[in-house]
Amino acid sequence: MIERTSFTPGTMPQPPLPSSRKSASRRRRNQFLIFIITFLIAVTAWKLLQRSGAELPFTPEINVPPVTELHPIVAAKQQELITQTAAAGITILITDGFRSTEEQNALYEQGRSLDGLVVTQVRGGHSYHNYGLAIDFALRTKEGDVVWDMKYDGNGNSKSDWMEVVAIAKKLGFTWGGDWDNFKDYPHLQMDFGYSIRELLRGKRPLVE
C-alpha cells in the first residue's frame, strides 16, 4: 500500500532546509535580538543618566571667548534686587556671582575629598555660575551678621525676609534654586535665557544687548 502525503490544494510540500541554511537563519535572528537588547539597554541607561542629573559627554561645536564676569543683564538685575529689597527693609549680601571652572571644581570637592558640607552637585562647566548667569545671596541682620535663615523676619512684617527676596527676584526674571525638584539650592538665583547647560558647554551664549 502506497502512503500518500496530504497537502493543501494549490500548494506543494516544501523540502526541508539544508542544515547550513538553518544555521544562517538562526544566526541572523540571534544577531537581531542582540541588537534590540543592546539598543534598549543603551536607551535605558541614557534616560537614567538624564534623570539623575549626571554629567553627560559633549563635543564643543565652536570656540568662544571664556566668560569672566556676570552677564550685563544679570548684573543689572542683581543691582535692582539689592535696591528693591532694601526698599522693603531687607539687606541682602550677594555671596557669589561669576565662578570660574577651577572655583567650581574646588567647590564640588567640598564635602567629598575636602572638609565641609556638600553645596553643589556639579563640576566645573556644569553650573550657570560658570557662565555669569547666576548669583547666590544671604541676609544681613541689623547687627551686621550674615545669615541663611529662611525664617528670619528682620523688617518685622511677619513674613520671611528670605521668601520676600525670592518673590522680588522672580518678578525681576530670576528663577530660584529652591524650586528645583532634586537638589534644592535655596540661595541660588539664575537667568538662563532659555539656554541649557549642554548648549552653553557647546559654546552658545545669550546675546549682550
Over the Cα atoms of the chain, what is R_g?
Answer: 30
For 138-176, give one letter per residue: b (16+ CB within 10 A) or e. Answer: bbbeeeeeeeeeeeeebeeeeebbbebbbebbeeeebbb
pLDDT for 17: 52
| pLDDT beneath 50, residues of the chain | 1-3, 5, 7, 49-60
pLDDT for 209: 67
pLDDT for 28: 79
Q: Which domains does the chain have, with CATH numbers?
A: 72-201 (3.30.1380.10)
pLDDT for 150: 98
- The predicted model scores a pTM of 0.70
Largest CA-CA distance found in the chain, in angstroms, rounded: 116
pLDDT for 182: 86
SS3 content of the chain, % helix, strand, coil (to 5): 40, 10, 50
pLDDT for 33: 79
pLDDT for 207: 86
pLDDT for 161: 98
